[in-house]
């Protein structure tokens, strides 16, 4: 008689409770959870954040949940009792808060960081944009947030990198060993011959989708309102531009102008349906990082797009874009009008989206790659950590300022 082996356990420490209907980060987290769920893992999701009305119902999806506290030793008891095989940190901020506690209480657990995108890259680009100065890797390297994020990457056994550009930045500029990194973009179902898409004639209007808590989205909407859309509307007076996004601020909601064809709707009830109904997606992004959820949604829903170099960065490799990449406003408008009015150009762009999905984002192959990497690391974790001397150095007590700050805060709270 054989005793049934207990399933492996995954602990996810979430920065916020996932909102897949609101943010690309929420979609990403649900995809990762699904990969481990398919492998039979018992999964617990913990967060120090409060749930919102739009947070996913984790219990209904079969996941355990836990409300955890920052700067509190109750987490030590919690994680010791759970004794997870794998801990997944949702962005480097959670690793800073809880990574040292996981390392001390569950030293054998595999520690994985999901960067979502390089937050330091997004931050520095925004600062450069506001100052009207060019972004440089030197500026990125000089920023304190970069040092914090890179330290988290080194302290973990594996970091999931969503963009090919960001992987190159880490390996070519910082020379981080590739064994610590895994390029893992969003994972979506492959397009097959049975997949049906709405045709050119079945679609109408332009669309932009982006959450209001993300600064690049707010800037893009302002750019559309003030510069891009008036030029397009002048050439295509019957067309409309639909703006969707969760948590849009009042200044964006007040831009609604039905007479000018600029319609601000707020949260989309079904983002896929909205994207599938549009003829062209517009995304004049001027700063940011990672893979842009709105542009991947456009590809998945067979909607050609016009974006910028920043928008398409790290998303298409050496393959053609499913539309146009233009940084100049005049060229951007010209491309948008061409896509909207020229059926064969639009259809070619739509077909290119299929190639992008099946080549770079195919769910089955990416899932297999992730699990294979996790299993390989679990078999050789001691050797892997021995080779990561920088990570061991950053775990040393003389370098763990966050640990002692947390302990100080905990004592202060008790007082």
pLDDT tens for each residue of 283-326: 999 999 999 999 999 999 999 999 999 999 999 999 999 999 99
The per-residue pLDDT for 406 is 66
Residue 279 φ/ψ, nearest 5 degrees: -90, -35
Query: Among all chains, which residue has been given the structure tokens 């920023």?
Result: 143
Residue 44's SS3 state is: strand
Q: What is the bridge-based pairing of β-strands 241-244 and 262-266?
A: parallel
Instruction: Tell me the per-residue pLDDT of 263-274, one tens digit each, with 9 for 90 and over.
Output: 999 999 899 999
How much of the chain, in percent, has pLDDT values that exceed 90?
87
Tokens standing for residue 350: 């739509």
Largest CA distance in the chain: 78
How much of the chain, in percent, has pLDDT values that exceed 70?
94
Tokens standing for residue 268: 């989309």
Query: Among all chains, which residue has been given the structure tokens 């897949």?
Result: 20
pLDDT band (50, 70, 90) for residue 21: confident
The number of C-alpha atoms within 13 Å of 34 and in the hemisphere containing its C-beta is 14
pLDDT band (50, 70, 90) for residue 394: confident
- Selection from 280, 192, 208 nearest residue 244 by Cα: 208
CA distance 14 to 315: 25
The per-residue pLDDT for 6 is 64
286 contacts 308 by C-beta, under 8 angstroms? yes
Instruction: Tell me the per-residue pLDDT of 84-107, one tens digit each, with 9 for 90 and over.
Output: 999 999 999 999 999 999 999 999
Q: Tally the residues of the chain.
A: 415
Mean of the per-residue pLDDT values of the chain: 93
CA distance 387 to 180: 10
CA distance from start to end of the chain: 55
Instruction: Tell me the per-residue pLDDT of 34-86, one tens digit each, with 9 for 90 and over.
Output: 999 999 999 999 999 999 989 999 999 999 999 999 989 999 999 999 999 99
Instruction: Tell me the per-residue pLDDT of 316-347, one tens digit each, with 9 for 90 and over.
Output: 999 999 999 999 999 999 999 999 999 999 99
- pTM confidence score: 0.90
Instruction: Tell me the per-residue pLDDT of 197-216, one tens digit each, with 9 for 90 and over.
Output: 899 999 999 999 999 999 99
pLDDT (mean) for 147-166? 96
385 contacts 391 by C-beta, under 8 angstroms? yes
- Chain centre to alpha carbon of residue 12: 16
CA distance 173 to 118: 14
């Amino acid at each position: 008689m054989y005793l049934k082996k207990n399933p492996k356990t995954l602990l996810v420490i979430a920065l916020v409770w996932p909102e897949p209907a609101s943010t690309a980060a929420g979609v990403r987290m649900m995809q990762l959870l699904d990969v481990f769920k398919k492998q039979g893992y018992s999964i617990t999701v913990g967060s120090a954040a409060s749930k919102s009305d739009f947070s996913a119902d984790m219990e209904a999806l079969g996941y355990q949940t836990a409300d955890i506290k920052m700067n509190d030793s109750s987490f030590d008891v919690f994680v010791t009792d759970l004794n997870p095989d794998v801990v997944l940190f949702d962005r480097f901020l959670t690793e800073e808060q809880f990574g040292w506690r996981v390392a001390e209480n569950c030293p054998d657990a595999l520690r994985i960081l999901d960067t979502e995108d390089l937050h330091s890259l997004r931050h520095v680009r925004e600062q450069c944009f506001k100052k009207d100065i060019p972004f440089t890797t030197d500026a990125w390297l000089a920023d304190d947030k970069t040092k914090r994020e890179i330290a988290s990457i080194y302290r973990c056994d594996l970091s999931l990198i969503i963009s090919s550009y960001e992987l190159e930045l880490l390996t070519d500029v910082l020379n981080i060993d590739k064994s610590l990194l895994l390029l893992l973009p969003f994972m979506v179902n492959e397009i097959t011959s049975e997949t049906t898409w709405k045709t050119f004639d079945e679609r109408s209007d332009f669309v932009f989708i982006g959450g209001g808590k993300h600064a690049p989205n707010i800037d893009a909407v302002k750019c559309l309102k003030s510069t891009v859309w008036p030029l397009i509307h002048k050439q295509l007076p019957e067309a409309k531009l639909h703006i969707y996004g969760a948590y849009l601020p009042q200044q964006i909601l007040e831009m609604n102008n039905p007479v000018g064809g600029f319609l601000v709707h707020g949260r989309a009830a079904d983002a896929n349906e909205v994207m599938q109904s549009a003829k062209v997606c517009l995304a004049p992004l001027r700063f940011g990082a990672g893979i842009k959820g709105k542009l991947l949604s456009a590809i998945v829903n067979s909607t050609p797009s016009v974006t910028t170099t920043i928008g398409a960065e790290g998303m298409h490799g050496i393959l053609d874009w499913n539309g146009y990449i233009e940084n100049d406003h005049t060229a951007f408008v010209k491309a948008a009008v061409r896509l909207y009015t020229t059926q064969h150009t639009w259809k070619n762009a739509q077909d290119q989206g299929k190639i992008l999905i099946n080549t770079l984002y195919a769910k089955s192959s990416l899932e297999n790659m992730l699990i294979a990497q996790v299993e390989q690391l679990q078999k050789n974790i001691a050797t892997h950590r021995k080779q990561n001397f920088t990570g061991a150095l950053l775990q040393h007590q003389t370098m763990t300022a966050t640990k002692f700050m947390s302990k100080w805060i905990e004592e202060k709270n008790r007082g």
